Structure 1
Amino acid sequence: MSDYISINGQLTPYDDARIAPFDAGLLHGAGLFETLRVRNGKIFRGAEHLARITASAAVMNLPFTLGLGQLQEMMADLLEVNGLTDARARLTITRGDLHEATAEQPEPPVTLMLSASAFAPYPAALYEKGLTAIIAPYKQNPESPLCGHKTTSYVDRLMALREAQKLKAGEALWFAAGTNFLAEGSISNVFIVDKDGVLATPPLHVPEKTNQRLCLPGITRQVVLGLATEMNVLPHERMITITELLAAKEVFVTNAIMGVMPVTHIEKHNVGNEKPGELTMKLHAAYNALLETETD
């Protein structure tokens, strides 16, 4: 746990940190967050993370503006006071203290929190042997206005992860309500190498329904799409059925902390030959190399 946390730009000892009792993040879950990978004091793909949370804030009518330079300066101060260089950081914004709303200014200033803790990587054995995932017992709702946004209304994801952990699994894969189409993981985006050797991942939006999001526009997801293209592997963003998922030669999941993580079992089903696939490991290595290059 950090010794200090940044609240509205002010460094505060963790034990003294406070938010208002009427903060909308506490009362209504009205907030957004970004999980950031920091290496050598540098935020990996910080501009992309900031662009995503800013776009989501606009959708949720949160009056949020923060420049990349401001974020980098805040992060540098936070890392220094906590004695960190490699960190897992989190940027959180909420709608703010509703008690401060007035007739003249009905939208209070957002609450902005930045925290960081020492980076703890996933065990190397998971990358060597692969992760087990379950099918989430809950469904993704593309018609929800929160779908595809990284909101602080996150308890359903944690409930699904808890179900996965009960079964000694590390991720729960969500399908869209009323369909058998794959959406995303509880904390990740999902890729497959299908039975024909084609790299595929669910699209951001439901086809022909651009107002319905299917999954989070993951920053790591976007990096992997770019890396695949550089390898002359054409990635396909398309709908994926449960049948295609179970028939896939390779499956992997992505996020800012795990990078590219192979999935070798889906519940009791074996993925491929029960070992991390060739393309998965190439993308894993390429992602790690890019992370090092951009943060050296």
Structure 2
Amino acid sequence: MGLKVYINGQLYDKADAKISVYDHGLLYGDGVFEGLRSYGGKVFRLREHLDRLWKSAKAICLKIPMTMDEMTQAVNDTIKVNNIQDGYVRLVITRGSGTLGLDPNRCSDPQVIIIADSITLYPAEFYEKGLQIVTVSTIRNHPAALSPRIKSLNYLNNILAKIEGMQAGCVEALMLNHNGEVAECTGDNIFLVRDGELLTPPVDSGILEGITRDAVMELAREAGITVKEKTLTRHDVYIADECFLTGSAAEVIPVVKVDTREIGDGNPGPMTLDLTRRFRELTRR
């Protein structure tokens, strides 16, 4: 049986899952989304993802045409019908079909799309040996232009940074904010370890408040590790004892080089490995 895609209460074969070419999600990137992980057929922190989705939608004046409980049921039903155990769920809300103009009031019927599929992870060797990343010149969206806290369908900022990183031979790239401070990577949050403390940029540095980020900070505090959300610069990255990234798809992945500079001893560090183990235990209970 082929994959089924949920659109507005109906399940369609993947080949027949379509929306209008006049949808403002396509024409202008006008919409919001979430990327979620499922483990053993259950979505990890679904309520937290939905809370963030509703906040993103509210921030762009987009009303989601169903309740959070109805969305929860729809996500779970889509996973079940596709027999997804350990997989990935993409939840998309578009503004809906409209005219060839920016006016969102001319759009009708926001589209609710749920795609449940298998997950493509970084290669295993990256988790074992660590990533090399590079700082790119493409800065994170200025919060006065488009808040990075909105997980919108307009991902060109991240995509341009991703292209720049890939052209430098790296699969992930570090983005700075408009003040030249460390923000986040193109699809992941960043953490540093220094003198036994766990450091990560605060939300007001221009980052998406990651669900996996929050989970890792909780796990670290439970383990007695001091966690600080503080403004960081590239200098802090270069002198860190350890570095790792977090994200729904990436989970927890070590970084061993930034801008060709070796982090720590050039191997995944003990705190990174410990938090990776704790996160895997949390998600695979």
Q: TM-score, normalised by structure 1?
A: 0.88
Task: Decide whether the 8 Å contact of 2:65 with 2:110 is kept in 1.
Answer: no
Task: Decide whether the 8 Å contact of 1:43 with 1:72 is kept in 2.
Answer: no
Q: Measure how far apart 1:49 and its partner are.
A: 0.2
Q: How many residues align?
A: 280
- Residue 29 of structure 1 aligns with which residue? 29
- Residue 102 of structure 2 aligns with which residue? none
State the distance in 2 between where 1:147 and 1:96 align: 22
Moved more, 127-136 or 166-175: 166-175
Task: Decide whether the 8 Å contact of 1:133 with 1:172 is kept in 2.
Answer: yes
Q: Measure how far apart 1:5 and its partner are.
A: 1.0
State the distance in 2 between where 1:218 and 1:65 align: 25
Task: Look up the SS of the partner of 1:191 in the other structure.
Answer: strand
Task: Decide whether the 8 Å contact of 2:216 with 2:279 is kept in 1.
Answer: yes
- Residue 223 of structure 1 aligns with which residue? 215
- Identity rate, percent: 33
2:148 corresponds to which letter in structure 1?
Answer: C
Q: Taking structure 1 as reference, are residues 243 and 292 closer, same or farther at Cα in structure 2, changes over 3 Å only?
A: same
- Provide Cα deviations, 1:178-213, integer angstroms capped at 9, x if missing partner: x2210111001111113x33211000015xxxxxxx
Task: Decide whether the 8 Å contact of 1:139 with 1:176 is kept in 2.
Answer: yes
State the distance in 1 between where 2:107 and 2:18 align: 20
Task: Look up the SS of the partner of 1:260 in the other structure.
Answer: strand
Q: Measure how far apart 1:259 and its partner are.
A: 0.8
1:281 corresponds to which letter in structure 2?
Answer: L
Answering whether residue 276 of structure 2 is matched by residue 284 of structure 1, we say yes
1:245 corresponds to which letter in structure 2?
Answer: V
- Residue 54 of structure 1 aligns with which residue? 54
Quote the RMSD (CA, aligned, Å).
2.0
- Provide Cα deviations, 1:194-245, integer angstroms capped at 9, x if missing partner: 3x33211000015xxxxxxx11010001001101110111210010011111
**Any unmatched runs of 5+ in structure 2?**
100-104
- Residue 264 of structure 2 aligns with which residue? 272
State the distance in 1 between where 2:196 and 2:135 align: 23
Task: Look up the SS of the partner of 1:11 in the other structure.
Answer: strand
Moved more, 184-193 or 21-30: 21-30
1:204 corresponds to which letter in structure 2?
Answer: V
State the distance in 2 between where 1:175 and 1:163 align: 13
Answering whether residue 149 of structure 2 is matched by residue 148 of structure 1, we say yes
Q: Where does 1:179-198 land on structure 2 (aligned, <5 Å)?
A: 179-194=179-194, 196-198=195-197
- Residue 199 of structure 1 aligns with which residue? 198
Task: Look up the SS of the partner of 2:139 in the other structure.
Answer: strand
Task: Look up the SS of the partner of 1:64 in the other structure.
Answer: coil
Task: Decide whether the 8 Å contact of 2:244 with 2:255 is kept in 1.
Answer: yes
- Residue 17 of structure 2 aligns with which residue? 17
Task: Look up the SS of the partner of 2:137 in the other structure.
Answer: strand
1:267 corresponds to which letter in structure 2?
Answer: D
- Residue 168 of structure 1 aligns with which residue? 169
- Residue 224 of structure 2 aligns with which residue? 232
Task: Decide whether the 8 Å contact of 1:54 with 1:65 is kept in 2.
Answer: no
Equivalent residue in structure 1 for 2:235, among 229, 243, 250? 243
Q: Measure how far apart 1:52 and its partner are.
A: 0.3
Q: TM-score, normalised by structure 2?
A: 0.92
- Provide Cα deviations, 1:136-179, integer angstroms capped at 9, x if missing partner: 220122322332211110122122222222333121111011x2
State the distance in 1 between where 2:252 and 2:98 align: 40
State the distance in 1 between where 2:269 and 2:85 align: 32
Task: Look up the SS of the partner of 1:261 in the other structure.
Answer: strand
Task: Decide whether the 8 Å contact of 2:136 with 2:161 is kept in 1.
Answer: yes
2:217 corresponds to which letter in structure 1?
Answer: L
2:15 corresponds to which letter in structure 1?
Answer: D
Q: Taking structure 1 as reference, are residues 286 and 12 closer, same or farther at Cα in structure 2, changes over 3 Å only?
A: same
Q: Measure how far apart 1:66 and its partner are.
A: 4.2
State the distance in 2 between where 1:280 and 1:24 align: 41
Task: Look up the SS of the partner of 1:156 in the other structure.
Answer: helix
State the distance in 1 between where 2:22 and 2:163 align: 29
Task: Look up the SS of the partner of 2:284 in the other structure.
Answer: helix
State the distance in 2 between where 1:145 and 1:119 align: 29
Q: Measure how far apart 1:26 and its partner are.
A: 1.1
- Residue 137 of structure 1 aligns with which residue? 137
Task: Decide whether the 8 Å contact of 2:220 with 2:275 is kept in 1.
Answer: yes
State the distance in 2 between where 1:8 and 1:129 align: 43
State the distance in 2 between where 1:204 and 1:168 align: 29
**Any unmatched runs of 5+ in structure 1?**
100-104, 207-213
Q: Structure 1 segments of 4 or more deviating over 6 A?
A: none
